[in-house]
Structure 1
Amino acid sequence: MRVGLITGDPGHPVLAAAAAVLERRGCRVEVVPFGAGAGGAGGGGAGGGSLADVYLLKARTPQALALARELERRGAPVVNSAAATELCQDRVRMAGLARGAGLPFAATLAAGPLGELPGQEYPFVVKSRHSRRHDLVALVDGAARLRELAGQWPQEEVVTQPYVRGNGWDQKLWVVDGQVFAARRRSELSSGDGESGSAAEWEPSARRAALALRVGEVFGLQVYGVDLLDGAAEPVIVDVNAFPGVRGRPGAPEALAGLALRVAGERGRFGASG
């Protein structure tokens, strides 16, 4: 069996560990190039080479998404799909889908360029409209902070969300093929003690785990992350990420490898290999 990795970082811990599991099970794991001019690459590129049995889409660049769409057009299974991955890059579309499905997603309003942000009631959270690595996520607690951010990101298209006052910890839930992994991480927006991004063990309630699984059903995702905060009456979803890192979660690489095997096996039953 052949597994293609669409990624700009094949050494990422969860991918590398999952690849090792797959190779121990006799699979051939290949990194698929997706940059400019890579369409004709062999090993399952979009230019006509033989297809792998399944592709794992970790990259989110326009080139990677274009490759994933072409592979899907040719009949290859891609996890997550190009459409689901692209949806999770637009926080306005993401919030609209979630709230339309009855999920408790934070009210998310498109606000245009940060340098032209209309008047807001402080505090509020501002985020890049288009989710990506090193995007903008910040608490705006007054006019001075807003001017500072606008000076740094004047043309950044942003959204705003209400500030949910929590305990300084973000609840991170990651789902891989129906298996839920979780941790708490010190919030980037927290002004309390502790280093931003530091992690702590945490076991989600059955209600929160069920909420995370429901997100996958609504968004058509098989590998994804859900960021939760404690709202006044119920958990509040503040972000959904397609194919996150799932770092340091025992069992996650094995779950990812198992997902690849399952999807490839289904393709073998229902469609001919390329």
Structure 2
Amino acid sequence: MRICFLTPRPDHPLLAATEKLLKPRHDVTHQNPADPHPPDPTTPLADVYLLKSRTPQALALARSFEERGARVLNSAAATELCQDRTAMADLALQAGLPFARTHTPGTLTDLTSLPRVPLPLPLVVKSRHSRREDLVARADTPTQLRALATDWPEEPVVIQQFTPNSGWDHKLWVIADKVFATHRRSELATTPTLPPPPPLTPTTLPRTWLTLVRTVGKVFALDVYGVDLITTPTGTPLIVDINAFPGIRNQPGAPEALAALALRAAGRSQP
């Protein structure tokens, strides 16, 4: 099989470990979407492309392969959808998923110029367009909100009402149907650091959570993705973010799951 990683970082731990599993029985190549020289359109297509980049150049490159009939995981359309937090929230809520109610006021300057903030404080303020080093912050007071607007005046944002929680994010990752999980201290937590909860593993996840994260994949047409959950005071999960092809670092079995997915997808792409 011919498998190509669309990434500027083929040395990423997940990709490097997956490549090691696939070689030498399969032909594994890399294509940097930032390469100023586009691939020759007469070059034979790979059997499957793994899109581990979310830049405009990466999406355009993935689409060019899709237009030629190639299979790309995740598709350019699914990857792009997860970058727009407004579209993400709209689709999730339309599908009945427990997603944080999301408002799109425009830029931070627009938000702070309104006579009345659409939601009561505290607020979670995020860049509308998900990217590396984007804005994710909590504003408890009007002063904090104005300070964010000073630092990010023209940033298009979404806002969500802050939901009290334990201060720990539940990070769930999915490769095909295999689920991986862990806890991470929330970057929005303001309470003193508490001992971490018990280790989070697929075997300790509530069955309803497993069903929930797999439903996300179906709704968003994703094969490799991450779902960030918090637990509300009533104990129910609330989705606060969805990511296409996250890093999934330090998760035993993740490279094996990704290699198996690549081979299955490559096989389905054959005539």
> Normalising by structure 2, what TM-score?
0.92
Specify which of 93, 97, 108 is matched with residue 91 of structure 2.
97
Match of 2:254 in 1: 252
Q: For 1:6-41, what per-residue CA distance to the aligned partner results, in whole angstroms no more than 9, with x for missing partners?
A: 0111111111111111115x1121111322633235
Q: What is the CA-CA distance between 1:230 and the residue it aligns to? A: 1.2
Segment of structure 1 superposing worse, 230-239 or 105-114: 230-239
Matching of residue 50 in structure 1 with residue 52 in structure 2: no
Match of 1:263 in 2: 265
Give, in whole Å, the separation in 2 of the partners of 1:123 and 1:94: 22
Q: What is the CA-CA distance between 1:170 and the residue it aligns to? A: 0.4
**Residues 3-42 of structure 1 aligned to structure 2 (within 5 Å):** 3-24=3-24, 26-35=25-34, 37-41=36-40
Give, in whole Å, the separation in 2 of the partners of 1:28 and 1:151: 50
**RMSD of aligned residue pairs (Cα, Å):** 1.6
Aligned residue identity for 2:231: D
Q: What is the CA-CA distance between 1:200 and the residue it aligns to? A: 7.1
Q: For 1:84-136, what per-residue CA distance to the aligned partner results, in whole angstroms no more than 9, with x for missing partners?
A: 00000000100111110111111011111112213332101000000111111
Q: What is the CA-CA distance between 1:212 and the residue it aligns to? A: 0.3
Question: Secondary structure in 2 aligned to 1:69?
Answer: helix
Aligned pairs, how many? 261
TM superposition outliers: structure 1 runs of 4+ over 3 Å: none
Seen in structure 2, the aligned counterparts of structure 1 residues 237 and 252 have a Cα distance that, compared at 3 Å, is: same
Match of 1:170 in 2: 169
Question: Secondary structure in 1 aligned to 2:124?
Answer: strand
Q: For 1:114-159, what per-residue CA distance to the aligned partner results, in whole angstroms no more than 9, with x for missing partners?
A: 1221333210100000011111111110022112211111110000
Match of 2:199 in 1: 201
Structure 1: where are the runs of 5+ without partners? 42-46
Segment of structure 1 superposing worse, 168-177 or 7-16: 7-16
Structure 2: where are the runs of 5+ without partners? none
Match of 1:236 in 2: 238
Give, in whole Å, the separation in 2 of the partners of 1:199 and 1:16: 31
Give, in whole Å, the separation in 2 of the partners of 1:111 and 1:11: 39
Give, in whole Å, the separation in 2 of the partners of 1:143 and 1:247: 37
Seen in structure 2, the aligned counterparts of structure 1 residues 48 and 183 have a Cα distance that, compared at 3 Å, is: same
Q: What is the CA-CA distance between 1:206 and the residue it aligns to? A: 1.1
Give, in whole Å, the separation in 1 of the partners of 2:197 and 2:35: 37
Aligned residue identity for 1:242: A
